[in-house]
Structure 1
Amino acid sequence: MPIDADKALSAEPRSTEIAWDPKDVQLYHLGIGAGTTPPEWPAGSSAATDPGELRYTLESRLHTLPSFATVAGSGSPFTQRNREAEGGGATAGGLSAPGIEVDLAAVLHGGQSITLHRPIPVHGTATQTTRIAAVYDKGKAAVIVLRSEAADADGPLWTSDTRIFVKGEGGFGGERGPSHRLELPDRAPDHTLLRPVREDQALLYRLSGDRNPLHADPEFAALAGFDRPILHGLCSYGITLKALVDTLLNGEVARVRTYSTRFAGVVFPGETLRVRAWRQRGRIQAAVTAVEREDAPVLADTVVEHH
């Protein structure tokens, strides 16, 4: 149905209880490549026994990468639930938004940002409140901004903004919205990292909650215009944050304050991500490309602010 931006923006926020445990955190970490040896490590090194890597995979040493917030409690914005609520609507982590009907075949993830209010525990329960923060009219497409805020008994945990790009749903007369692009530094990157994406990466990552068939079903991928299933944008997002934290922040996940990106292109399982990173005062800027497709853009406007 046509987008009714006023109805979507005026809808009451939806709150849901979410919970996670160490198994959920470990599964997420494995889904973004934890436990595999990065190419830059010395020959003979093994992620299976490396103390730093075990913090992602072994429950007795476990910490939580901040990007886990995007799947905590299966909170993916593309998990279809409660379709009957409000007579149908766009579903985001249990939020049914009146005024918006999202066709999964027309949906792409436009961007993601997370603000961490404190480190995410490896075992937790929280109340997550989600609302439509903005609806933008891009002419031939619409951009929907979903804002989710999670808090537990000790206070706020994180705020997450998800920007959903919906093809063919523009032209409803709404505001066009921001179009700012972040320029890359005019110097060589301080680090260039390669992160291979396994052939089964999307199949493993989707077990953390995002079951969109775009990432597993070739026939559905064809309906969306792809010759084969693509990797979740949030998987590339997690792979990149882990690479930056491990390499530039000494693996200290608690130092991350915010993490934002714009999804500039797709990744196919089996490809290799090239992560270029620039150190700046209190932050890291990065750009991610797909090596096998002549460094086609994957993530742009990517920034980690840190302590």
Structure 2
Amino acid sequence: MPIDAAKALAAEPRSGQITWDHKDVQLYHLGIGAGRPATDPDELRYTLESRLHVLPSFATVAGSGAPGVISGLSMPGIEVDLARVLHGGQSLTVHRPIPVEGTATATNRIAAVYDKVKAAILVLRTEVADGDGPLWTNDAQIFLRGEGGWGGDRGPSTRLEPPAGEPDRTVERAVREDQALLYRLSGDWNPLHADPEFAKLAGFDRPILHGLCTYGMTLKAVVDTLLDGDVTRVRSYVTRFAGVVYPGETLRIRMWRRPGAIRVAVSAARGTDDAPVLADTVVEHS
């Protein structure tokens, strides 16, 4: 079996230094669709260095691009075919606002391994801290097709009851044809998002958008729509990836206000379809 759960969980954490500056932040923001319209004052907060603030989902790429995923898939006890790997979910806890530029230590480890019989799920945890203390914690849930069935722990259920009633707000965000090509410049070089032949090997008609790009686009929509554009109000953000988005489609983002939190459901408009792509999604805020 390519996955040795006991060995993976016992592996020593891997730590390394990461750095970022305003250019990395601006590139990430452009990669999730910021800057449209280019001269809109609200968009300039994401694109102009003199006004820049950092959307918390930047934490998923800060330093080297999805460091927990890249490091985790090369941990002891893990040997998988990249074409069988899918991003199943993501959670982010922000301990304090992310600075526009910084140097920090990122520590990566396998936090859990779950046996879903026909697949395995790895929980790859990245904890980031600088000289002033913890900055953020990322958990990436990685779905490995065909790697389950060893009789291990199935793990907890993350499914939430669907939000009741009509959403408080619904917005649509267009995904550019070149969105995945732009987003991958922040460091996620998986060819699934750029190479048509590789995408076919993975079972897709054409390259798909990064799940974390949809994740970032959604958080930006929530911040801009219900949090007065204030990125520092975000405390945590969790989602389950329920479907794929293709460049050129449109995201339909539905939001329900709850005390201290916002429930979100995201679908991709495909002709007459309204296919779900993010589920069990919650943004906790101040």
TM-score bucket of the superposed structures, by smaller chain: over 0.9
1:173 shift after superposition: 2.0
Contact 1:134–1:144 (8 Å) recurs in 2: yes
Counterpart of 1:172, as a letter, is W
Counterpart of 1:299, as a letter, is L
- Partner of residue 38 from structure 2, selected from 24, 34, 48: 48
SS in structure 2 of the partner of residue 226 of structure 1: coil
Contact 2:105–2:130 (8 Å) recurs in 1: yes
1:142-221 matches, cutoff 5 A: 142-221=120-199
Counterpart of 1:71, as a letter, is V
Q: Which residue of 2 aligns with 1:12?
A: 12
Q: Which runs of 4+ in 1 moved over 6 A?
A: none
1:108 shift after superposition: 0.4
Q: Distance in 2 between matches of 1:77 and 1:107?
A: 16
Counterpart of 2:40, as a letter, is D
Contact 2:65–2:186 (8 Å) recurs in 1: no
Q: Which residue of 2 aligns with 1:266?
A: 244
Q: Which residue of 1 aligns with 2:280?
A: 301
Over the residues paired in the alignment, what is the CA RMSD in angstroms? 1.2
SS in structure 2 of the partner of residue 156 of structure 1: strand
Per-residue deviation, residues 106-150 of structure 1 (Å, max 9, x unmatched): 000000000000000000010000100000000010000001100
Q: Distance in 2 between matches of 1:169 and 1:72?
A: 29
Q: Which residue of 1 aligns with 2:104?
A: 126
SS in structure 1 of the partner of residue 74 of structure 2: strand
Q: Distance in 2 between matches of 1:79 and 1:97?
A: 10
Q: Distance in 2 between matches of 1:50 and 1:195?
A: 16
- Partner of residue 57 from structure 1, selected from 47, 51, 59: 47
- Partner of residue 247 from structure 1, selected from 225, 228, 231: 225
- Partner of residue 135 from structure 1, selected from 94, 110, 113: 113
Q: Which residue of 1 aligns with 2:21?
A: 21
Counterpart of 2:13, as a letter, is P
In structure 2, relative to structure 1, the CA distance for the partners of 1:163 and 1:111 (3 Å cut) is same
Aligned length: 285
Contact 2:97–2:135 (8 Å) recurs in 1: yes
1:272-283 matches, cutoff 5 A: 272-283=250-261
Contact 1:136–1:177 (8 Å) recurs in 2: yes
Counterpart of 2:89, as a letter, is G
SS in structure 2 of the partner of residue 28 of structure 1: helix
SS in structure 2 of the partner of residue 274 of structure 1: strand
1:61-140 matches, cutoff 5 A: 61-77=51-67, 91-92=71-72, 96-140=74-118
Q: Distance in 2 between matches of 1:59 and 1:180?
A: 38
What TM-score, normalized by structure 2, do the two folds share?
0.97
Contact 1:195–1:274 (8 Å) recurs in 2: yes
Q: Where does the alignment leave 5 or more consecutive residues of structure 1 unmatched? A: 37-46, 81-90
What TM-score, normalized by structure 1, do the two folds share?
0.91
Q: Distance in 2 between matches of 1:139 and 1:200?
A: 36
Which deviates further from its counterpart, 254-263 or 178-187? 178-187
Identity score, percent? 76
Contact 1:77–1:162 (8 Å) recurs in 2: no
Q: Distance in 2 between matches of 1:78 and 1:166?
A: 15
Counterpart of 1:21, as a letter, is D
1:98 shift after superposition: 0.2
1:77 shift after superposition: 4.9
Q: Distance in 2 between matches of 1:79 and 1:13?
A: 13
Per-residue deviation, residues 240-281 of structure 1 (Å, max 9, x unmatched): 000000000010000000000000000000000000000110
Contact 2:21–2:102 (8 Å) recurs in 1: yes
Per-residue deviation, residues 207-245 of structure 1 (Å, max 9, x unmatched): 000000000000000000001000000000000000000
